[in-house]
Structure 1
Amino acid sequence: MRYSRQILIKNFGEEGQKKLRKAKVAIVGVGGLGCAVSQYLTAAGIGELVLIDYQTVEITNLNRQILYCEDDIGRLKVEVAKERLKCLNPEVEIKTYAEKLKEEFIKDVDVVVDCLDNFEGRYLLNEICVKNKIPFVHGAVENMHGQVTTIIPYETPCLRCIFNLKDRNETLPILGFAAGTIGTIQAGEVIKLLSGVGETLKNKLLIINLANNEFNLLNLKKNPKCSVCSKLCSNGDKDD
């Protein structure tokens, strides 16, 4: 009964639900994006979630990180998130790591969701996913705009192919609804990847400007000289 409304979707049905139930998904970063992603994946019935975030709840998080409240200030985000998500759907298994990202945390998952807020961490995540052939859904948000793409090693450009950016040493402005919009789209990408129903953002970058409701879809191509995927994928092909 919990999933009856989504089971009604054409081509999804009980088989689609079973695929979600068998899946293991890692969410790296349980902030504005991660709060939205984790809630919708939990509600959809993902079998197991892995939450990775070493930070504690701060009052400045509360305009967008909707799993938390004032009573949670000072607590580890992953601990609070696990409690709230278990209330939403106790059927979902939840594993937490209150540490910075390590390769062993995500090596055995089916999909990774990039909910980080810095490119240093994203590039590390990108390298781990390409090396281990793990699909991952990238999302980023600032102010009232953001972006989403789905990266599948060996098939699509990796994050280094698409972006060559350095982090700015400043506090970025953001409105909560922008994080919720991008995070919800990321959750949808995960569900489509796992169920095989619907078209993902593979080889495409969705750019959204919510200030004036502009949605742009860009086609992406691999960089044959990419410092990450051209090298790692070539090594992987040799091994295979």
Structure 2
Amino acid sequence: MTDFSRYGRQVILPEVGVNGQALLRDSTVLVVGLGGLGSVAASYLAGAGVGRLLLADRDRVETSNLQRQVLYRQTDVGRAKTEAAAAQLAALNPDVVPCTYDAENWPAAVVHADVVLDCTDNFPSRYAINAACARARKPLVSGAAIRFEGQLAVFDLRRGGPCYRCLYPESGEAAERCEEAGILGPVVGTIGCQQALAALQLLLGLEVPVARLQRWDARQMQWTSHKIAADPECPVCGERRD
């Protein structure tokens, strides 16, 4: 039985309530990528009482991660991120059941998720996650951050909108990485928080802007929003769109 006293500050929200909290308890979220985005998003989802978190990452914790990947501690350096993250999330909230997946078997977890978070940092992974979500018709919350810039988009083919592949056709160009371009910790943390917020809204059945690219300029503290057009010739979602 859920200890609702833990979640009192959100249960009093009319948009959540006791029924909404029970809904979160019975929900499953897949987080692919446990770096700066995923470690923050997973923490907030665990704190909110999402009952089952499926965690996927291939990397181990490095010292350079600790500047922005706030889920980890110095003693986690060298551990698999999935293992370290699962331990920290379980310690944060014993109501949460974390399950770990590696780089090869995470696609099988998509069908078990109510919402999928793409918290990766490269195009091949993003395309693979998008394709898996399109096949399973699962809502996808995609985030990215570099330097002083962040972006967020929610894709949900159940509503007949576009997919990530419509926004970024495969061009062969490599995505910039934090190792070369740099990143300020709170920038990536802000986008991770927004991914968690979007996931909670989806799970609670609240209105979420879909098919829009939300860009954040951290220097100016300003958001801009752009509509994403569906590509009728998209090889991923063209035949799956309602």
Residue 174 of structure 2 corresponds to which residue in structure 1?
A: 167
Q: Give the superposed CA RMSD.
A: 1.5
5+ long unaligned stretches in structure 2? none
Residue 135 of structure 1 corresponds to which residue in structure 2?
A: 139
Residue 218 of structure 1 corresponds to which residue in structure 2?
A: 226
Is 1:229 the equivalent of 2:237?
A: yes
Is 1:115 the equivalent of 2:122?
A: no
Q: CA deviation at 1:105?
A: 2.4
User: Which stretch of structure 1 is more off in the superposition, 94-103 or 201-210?
Assistant: 94-103
Is 1:62 the equivalent of 2:66?
A: yes
Cα distance in 2 for residues equivalent to 1:44 and 1:64: 21
Q: Which amino acid aligns with 1:3?
A: Y
Residue 195 of structure 1 corresponds to which residue in structure 2?
A: 204
Q: Are residues 215 and 31 of structure 1, via their aligned partners in 2, closer, same or farther at CA, if it must alter by over 3 Å? A: same
Q: Deviations over 1:164-216 (max 9, x none)?
A: 2532476331111011100000000000001013x312121110010111210
Q: Which amino acid aligns with 1:82?
A: A
Alignment size in residue pairs: 233
Q: CA deviation at 1:99?
A: 3.0
Q: Deviations over 1:150-173 (max 9, x none)?
A: 111242210011112532476331
5+ long unaligned stretches in structure 1? none
Residue 11 of structure 2 corresponds to which residue in structure 1?
A: 7
CA contact (8 A) 1:36 1:66 kept: yes
Q: Are residues 189 and 81 of structure 1, via their aligned partners in 2, closer, same or farther at CA, if it must alter by over 3 Å? A: same
Q: Deviations over 1:124-171 (max 9, x none)?
A: 110010011111100011011111111112422100111125324763
Q: Are residues 23 and 57 of structure 1, via their aligned partners in 2, closer, same or farther at CA, if it must alter by over 3 Å? A: same
CA contact (8 A) 2:56 2:106 kept: no
Cα distance in 2 for residues equivalent to 1:188 and 1:100: 28
Q: Are residues 60 and 101 of structure 1, via their aligned partners in 2, closer, same or farther at CA, if it must alter by over 3 Å? A: farther
Instruction: Name the TM-score, length of structure 2 as normaliser.
Output: 0.92
SS class of match (1:3): helix
Q: CA deviation at 1:101?
A: 5.4
Q: Are residues 59 and 2 of structure 1, via their aligned partners in 2, closer, same or farther at CA, if it must alter by over 3 Å? A: same
SS class of match (1:147): strand
Cα distance in 2 for residues equivalent to 1:120 and 1:20: 31
Is 1:157 the equivalent of 2:162?
A: yes
Residue 75 of structure 2 corresponds to which residue in structure 1?
A: 71
Cα distance in 1 for residues equivalent to 2:73 and 2:126: 27
CA contact (8 A) 2:166 2:234 kept: yes
Instruction: Name the TM-score, length of structure 1 as normaliser.
Output: 0.92
Q: Which amino acid aligns with 1:229?
A: C
SS class of match (2:82): helix
Cα distance in 2 for residues equivalent to 1:64 and 1:196: 31
CA contact (8 A) 2:121 2:175 kept: no
SS class of match (1:207): strand
1:185 to 176, 194, 199: 194
Q: Find runs of 4+ consecutive structure 1 residues off by over 6 angstroms.
A: none
Q: Which amino acid aligns with 1:167?
A: A
Is 1:176 the equivalent of 2:185?
A: yes
Cα distance in 1 for residues equivalent to 2:143 and 2:49: 21
